[in-house]
Structure 1
């Protein structure tokens, strides 16, 4: 076959011998012929046989058309590369297998027409046009699933080259135990003139380097304030074997730079792959102060912003190409950014994304001022976006919901509800979809403030700064950074969460500290200071990450360098720590692992502030299923 007649998107000719495995039987095209000028040869005969089997009239009609134009494409060896017809209907990979419902003649006509031009990009948003998992002969496991009529969308954990991540959240729970963890370490506001860096920590109990920082990747600039991170691709691209989770994307909260780190070449010693300078983001997006990074099913990377170039509030979204990491522009329509920004989560089956808000960068850059709360400069809204139209369709005002930060839909992609942690109000709010298609919100958990003496204000909030859902959507976890406790709630009934575990890991109200608790609705006495392996822990539990199986919770103690400096001065002097908590997934409950401690106060260049955690294979807060 000539190269120009091959539908191989890579541009190369057909190198494989023709076989039934190369092209699904239903997708083979009858060979073309000109009237009165039959082509001879074995290939023509084989093609004619296949043509008789299906789509006879339509295939012959298309053959005549092709013949009149001088084209004589025969059996297409690489027809499986076409994004629409490559998926075998019998395998049940289509959420709605409407091609199977068509007669073979109608489908042959549709197939022939679709081959004449590329598939419009917008079609890829719909399930029938998802990339095929079958680009090679069936493995025994795949053949077994086909024979057993596997339900649509299901896939075993080990299915060959299925692309990144896992087919479902429950499949992810069967994934391997984490062996290393990546987390950014910050030097801004610590007094150490050194760049932030990405630390790699060994968390394998069988390793001789257990609980040690085994690698440090410094960034090339100072005072970036690395904060959160995400992947170039994740479980939203499961099923696309052309995608792989190889790069960690680290936006900078203060400098607005984006660092792309290669974690696949040497997972235990990552390398800097690319630096995206602020000027590129400013020029194409008009956004700055970047926060959450999520990978999209399109293969793009989407990053939320807190503000514009001048530090005013602007909750927009930067889009990066997931392969080249070039800045493509904004996800939202021109002029359609939210007033403020912070975190976001999307749920395509309900055509929705919801974003949260912190404050304008100029308000929070150098610390917390209670007067800014009184002035209404901190956020108290959720923004509901139309996922297809990229525009805000509803704004939810949160009663008792000051500073909504981390947001989590249930992992089940069919679910139309989730939770958001409101820091200053110390509440967990449940958001949900109504029968009419609009969205509502209700408070389901309230952490009462404590009346205190010797602190910034007469009442101290818990300050919920991070929340997580287990992959089976059974348990909700959150941290009270100021009170110092980590909590576990059973949310099997999302409207009525039930407290099942609580553990104090430092905080501002420990005995012997400067704060005296005058009135407490929950505790009878102030908790004891936390000492692990001889180290008194400064700060309180902040960022949390759960193992895939839900049995281990990792915790760090730094929130944001300016707030660390203000609320926990000893955290700046001593550095943050990383802890590990054992989780009872049967009855519920939390227990500190006394043998696990990573002390970032002993770093070579001085005490550092470690923040968000990521596992190489994905986790509870970076992967979204569609």
Structure 2
């Protein structure tokens, strides 16, 4: 029998509760980056309720006070890991800035449709702890907030650490790693699993390198990472490094299965478009194996004779049935059934732009997957899709996949200058959750080329009620399930 929860905290007791709730998103929050840095970046609120008169429209904009922030990913002050604490609420959206090292604290509780700036953590407050380039935000069960950091300070050399914010004041209060020997050369994303006392982080590269654009010379010189870094969660100590090798260059987004007792998950390795499954072994340590390999395409008219997929985001459905990822250069989103986690099965695919379009400047000379190059795609209103699918977010019931097309403004300008000039887009892709399959929703589009101040590059999608990448579930809250 399910137990009642009188005055619970944010989110859901279990991933299953979230999945079966079929909760419809009312609004989404997305950071918008000004590509020429002529004015401040900002956060948009978009109405995504199909019954609303302002559906598929930007309904508010929160302009930040500084120029050149390069806001990127966002996260919450509280999530389902705090479900058993009725004193906690998902009241603040945390908005780190990759470029300036600022961290914005945004009030979304006072008016969820019109967020307000609450606090600003200035760069010096971050630098005093020997870190910079803040990226992934997760709330912690103890009430604090932890953000991964990719740099060592103003010099922007690589340094993988995590800054801790006080959950009440949001002031920086220290770093996560127990000692200097637990700090790694590179940082990026992370996920923790308290039931197994583990946290695993991933690696991008030196910020001083990736801010200049992608130079393959930097890859050859080891300026980008290839490791998964395994920590003893409670002791905050680095206990293992898993080298994914050349096929694992730039392991970016990492996702444990949502089941809080799971001992496995997946990581997308960007450059060569490979997915590795990581798992706990019978000996008690951790290992990784490649389970998906997207082949390069031989091409003419590009910077190299072969074009890799460049896998830039992955996401797992709340029921742990499907894995999705975007190949930003090839231009497709793929859906895999991961019922057998060691043997993912491709069940859905859709192309939305990309670099290998018919009649484009790049000609594919050998493709082991496609017999013809994809056609140019058009969205609602006949608007051409520039760029390619990048950031992904999934509805809790798994039927709606939100997709934006901007990766990171220096790389957008390098690989998709038309998109950087015209602005990115937000789409919804309809998902067949029974047999698999992906279809563009032709009734929804937000074109950020139409923004009042000029085109911008929209990035990560967040829902006020939590989503498939923001919330980490704890085994300790399962007894509070309403199922």
What's the TM-score once normalised by structure 1's chain length?
Answer: 0.74
> For residues 289 and 298 of structure 1, what CA distance do their matches in structure 2 show?
24
> For residues 426 and 193 of structure 2, what CA distance do their matches in structure 1 show?
31
> For residues 502 and 462 of structure 1, what CA distance do their matches in structure 2 show?
14
> For residues 590 and 323 of structure 1, what CA distance do their matches in structure 2 show?
42
In structure 1, the partner of 2:480 is none
The answer to whether residue 435 in structure 2 is matched with residue 587 in structure 1 is yes
8 Å CA contact retained: 1:192, 1:606: no
User: Which ranges in structure 2 are unaligned for 5 or more consecutive residues?
Assistant: 475-483
**Deviation (angstroms), 1:378:** 1.0
**Deviation (angstroms), 1:530:** 1.1
**Deviation (angstroms), 1:454:** 1.1
**Deviation (angstroms), 1:191:** 2.6
Q: Which has the larger radius of gyration?
A: 1
Helix, strand or coil at the partner of 1:373: helix
Helix, strand or coil at the partner of 1:509: coil
8 Å CA contact retained: 1:198, 1:216: yes
Helix, strand or coil at the partner of 2:248: coil
**Deviation (angstroms), 1:488:** 0.3
Counterpart among 494, 499, 518 of residue 346 in structure 2: 499
8 Å CA contact retained: 2:37, 2:68: no
In structure 2, the partner of 1:458 is 305
In structure 1, the partner of 2:289 is 442
The answer to whether residue 177 in structure 2 is matched with residue 304 in structure 1 is no
The answer to whether residue 172 in structure 2 is matched with residue 327 in structure 1 is yes
In structure 2, the partner of 1:105 is none
In structure 2, the partner of 1:112 is none
Counterpart among 183, 194, 205 of residue 359 in structure 1: 205
Q: Which runs of 4+ in 1 moved over 3 A?
A: none
Counterpart among 162, 166, 184 of residue 8 in structure 2: 162
> For residues 358 and 177 of structure 1, what CA distance do their matches in structure 2 show?
34
Helix, strand or coil at the partner of 1:625: coil
The answer to whether residue 157 in structure 2 is matched with residue 294 in structure 1 is no
The answer to whether residue 336 in structure 2 is matched with residue 489 in structure 1 is yes
The answer to whether residue 204 in structure 2 is matched with residue 389 in structure 1 is no
Higher relative helix content = 1
Helix, strand or coil at the partner of 1:173: helix
**Deviation (angstroms), 1:334:** 3.0
User: Which ranges in structure 1 are unaligned for 5 or more consecutive residues?
Assistant: 1-147
CA offsets 1:171-220 (integer angstroms, 9 cap, x no match): 01133200100000001xx2351100000001111111111101000000
CA offsets 1:248-279 (integer angstroms, 9 cap, x no match): 00101111100000001000000000000010
> For residues 121 and 344 of structure 2, what CA distance do their matches in structure 1 show?
42
> For residues 525 and 396 of structure 1, what CA distance do their matches in structure 2 show?
38
RMSD: 0.9
Higher relative strand content = 2
The answer to whether residue 237 in structure 2 is matched with residue 371 in structure 1 is no
Helix, strand or coil at the partner of 1:563: helix
8 Å CA contact retained: 2:37, 2:67: no
What are the equivalent positions in structure 2 for 1:434-583 lying under 5 Å apart?
434-532=281-379, 533-583=381-431
> For residues 405 and 241 of structure 1, what CA distance do their matches in structure 2 show?
34
> For residues 425 and 508 of structure 1, what CA distance do their matches in structure 2 show?
15
CA offsets 1:424-475 (integer angstroms, 9 cap, x no match): 1210000000111110100000000001111121111111100000011000
The answer to whether residue 70 in structure 2 is matched with residue 231 in structure 1 is no
8 Å CA contact retained: 2:189, 2:253: yes
**Deviation (angstroms), 1:160:** 4.0
The answer to whether residue 253 in structure 2 is matched with residue 406 in structure 1 is yes
8 Å CA contact retained: 1:430, 1:442: yes
